[in-house]
Amino acid sequence: MYGKMTLYFLDLLGTAVFAATGAMVAARRKLDLFGALVLAFVTAVGGGTIRDAILGSTPVFWINDPTYIEVICLATALTILGRRWWHSTRYVILVTDALGLGVFTVIGVEKALSFNVSPLPAVIMGVLTGAGGGLIRDVFAGRVPMVLRHEIYATAAIAGGLLYVLTMNFGLSREFVVICCASVVFGLRLLAIYSNFSLPRVSGP
């Protein structure tokens, strides 16, 4: 029970941070309040919504638990009201976003496995849960999605998801596996942020 509550809290924290990044993008694109809410919403729950639709888990998670909607609205409002402090909180947002990516990835893999999905598709569901919302946000905002750029983002989620499916039959406790896999995603993302480590670019002739 304790482990589930901790993961749920981290899930809500990740939802808030992803919603904040969506609202930030909306503000930089000079969208109105409705546009900010739309980008915040799709960033926070877009990936998980597509995952649930693919898995046939309906109603999707945020309909069963409206707390997610409340968190998104609150995070959007606080982001817009506090936009003058963005420059000083940029790295806090990036670090928390990395934590959210790790938690969302693990949640996505776990949910897919609970539907008896085989390991590799489960990893894809984890990546979709973690990075899908940001991809939708960037498309809506007219930007090249982060997951398609050279930054280590989706790659970190893939690594964490693979570690989860590789260790799930080792007899380790669920809490230990969750923490380890989320930490791998978190650590790889931080490495990318602070050392500019990235995948090689693909260049034309």
pLDDT at 198: 63
Percent of the chain residues topping a pLDDT of 90: 48
| DSSP-derived 3-state class of residue 151 | strand
Residue 3 confidence (pLDDT): 61
Model confidence, pTM: 0.86
| Amino acid present at 170 | F
Q: How confident is the model at residue 176 (pLDDT cuts 50, 70, 90)?
A: confident
22 lies in a domain?
Answer: yes
For residue 79, give the nearest of 18, 17, 20 by alpha carbon: 20
Number of domains in the chain: 1
| Rounded Cα gap, residues 21 and 78, in angstroms | 12
Least confident of 49-63, 100-114, 144-158: 144-158
Give domain status of residue 91, yes or no.
Answer: yes
CA 190 to chain centre: 14
Given a cut of 60, is residue 64 above it in pLDDT?
Answer: yes
Q: Residue 152: inside a domain, yes or no?
A: yes
Alpha-carbon gap, residue 92 to 180, rounded angstroms: 22
Any domain includes 124 = yes
**Residue 24 lies inside a defined structural domain of this protein:** yes
Mean pLDDT of 26-35: 88
Give the pLDDT mean for 3-22: 84
Tokens of 92: 């806090």
67: its two tokens: 């707390």
Which residues form the domain of 31? 2-195
Residue 7: per-residue pLDDT:
79
Q: How many helices (H) and strands (E) does the chain have?
A: 8, 0
First to last CA, the chain: 56
Domain for residue 205, yes or no? no
Asked whether residue 200 is assigned to any structural domain, the reply reads: no
Q: Is the residue at 150 inside a domain?
A: yes
Of residues 144 and 79, more confidently modeled = 79
- Token couple for 66: 């409206």
**For 66-124, what is each residue's pLDDT tens digit?**
999 999 999 999 988 887 776 666 677 778 788 889 989 999 999 999 999 999 999 99
